[in-house]
Amino acid sequence: MQPCWALMVRLDQRLLPEQDVYSDMSQIVRWVSRNNSKPGRTSGGDHIVVHAAPTWTRQTEDMEPEAVAEELWAEVSHVLSLPPVRPAQMAAHLWRHGLCDTPLGETYMFAREHMVGVGGDWCRGRLAEHAFESGAALGGAIVEAFS
């Protein structure tokens, strides 16, 4: 598993350009997304989630979250050429085992003779849909084993 610094930023004004998601921005920032554009969210400003790159996260695992937040926001502002704006709120959190590096390559594992199974995003990838696929398929296998 790879560690991942995640940064939450709340801005009182709309600041990001039109695009809602940016990937592989630099050696520091891997992903930026506008959270307030999800359906049902209304906000006057921008709510942004930032993921740091895995290598940079490893190098900075021991840093204070406040310092990481400042560095990540400075980098996002730089790569997106944003005007200098102080966020109304921001917080960084280290997900030490955040994202799967090398998936299993199978949707789940289930040992019928012991009636034990395991599943999760790490079986197929690193996203919520991989977790859903894995859980749904494992559930199917369990139901089948009982019938």
Ligand X SMILES: Cc1cc2nc3c(=O)[nH]c(=O)nc-3n(C[C@H](O)[C@H](O)[C@H](O)COP(=O)(O)OP(=O)(O)OC[C@H]3O[C@@H](n4cnc5c(N)ncnc54)[C@H](O)[C@@H]3O)c2cc1C
Q: Using CB under 6 A as the criterion, which residues of the chain lie in contact with ligand X when the complex forms?
A: 4, 6, 95, 98-99, 120-121, 126-128, 131
At 116, which amino acid appears? V
Q: How far is it, in rounded angstroms, from Cα 20 to Cα 22?
A: 7
- Specify the residue, 28 or 99, whose C-beta has the smaller distance to ligand X: 99
Q: How far is it, in rounded angstroms, from Cα 92 to Cα 98?
A: 14
What's the min distance (Å) between Cβ of 119 and ligand X?
7
What's the min distance (Å) between Cβ of 95 and ligand X?
4
CB 27 within 8 A of CB 56: yes
What's the min distance (Å) between Cβ of 146 and ligand X?
22
- Specify the residue, 111 or 132, whose C-beta has the smaller distance to ligand X: 132
CA angle (134, 135, 139) in 5-degree steps: 120
- Structure tokens that stand for 146 in this block: 């009982």
- Specify the residue, 128 or 143, whose C-beta has the smaller distance to ligand X: 128
